[in-house]
Amino acid sequence: MAIKNTTTSYGIIAKAFHWIMFLILVGMIVVGFYMHGLPSDTPEQMTYKFGLYDLHKSFGLLVLMLVLLRLGWRLINPVPEMSGSLSRIEALSAHGMHMLLYVMMLTQPLSGWAMALSGGHPVKFFGVQLPALLEKNAAMKDLFYEIHEIGAIALIVLFVLHMFAALFHHFVRKDDILTRMLPQSSKTD
């Protein structure tokens, strides 16, 4: 399997970014909704809940770093050409979907980071405390909370649409849109 993308398939680096980020983001969404509803009435409950929040923040920062690296890789390693079977509107839709996914993959960690800081909570990256770049501000915390919550729902919708589009292409159209991103795919030019 090629390390770099070809004109018809993604290389191992792009595929690794795609699937690793997918797994992390699904985990982040599940844990985010789970931890939000946890009680914090006892010290044990608070320790558990805020331990999950610390992990959520750490993985959120990891997502931010990975998406920046992924965008950098995308800039120096062009994506494969769109399938010739796509109409102009389908190609534009696919491009728009990818751009929206990138926007949301940046918005979510940044809004979460800003929400924590403006709420007066420290942000640690796997135990290493990061400097507080924002002051505590209840109004800003509420704003970033709304952005983060709506963003999570938007990301879920985008994931589902992206997944159904890939499955549609694979099972209905029977083209290579899905297979060129699968880990075992090794299509060459």
Residue 39: which CATH number? Answer: 1.20.950
CA distances from 31 to 28, 34, 47, 52, 179 (A): 5, 5, 15, 8, 29
Banded model confidence at residue 9, pLDDT cuts 50, 70, 90: confident
Q: Is residue 137 included in any domain, yes or no?
A: yes
pLDDT of residue 189: 47
pLDDT of residue 161: 97
Q: Is residue 133 included in any domain, yes or no?
A: yes
Query: 111 or 82: whose pLDDT is higher?
Result: 111
Banded model confidence at residue 86, pLDDT cuts 50, 70, 90: confident
Q: Please give the residue range of the domain that contains residue 42.
A: 12-181
**SS3 category, 188:** coil
What tens digit of pLDDT does each residue of 121-156 get?
999 999 999 999 999 999 999 999 999 999 999 999
Q: Is residue 1 included in any domain, yes or no?
A: no
**pTM (two decimals):** 0.91
Q: Is residue 177 included in any domain, yes or no?
A: yes
How many structural domains are present in the chain?
Answer: 1
Q: Is residue 124 included in any domain, yes or no?
A: yes
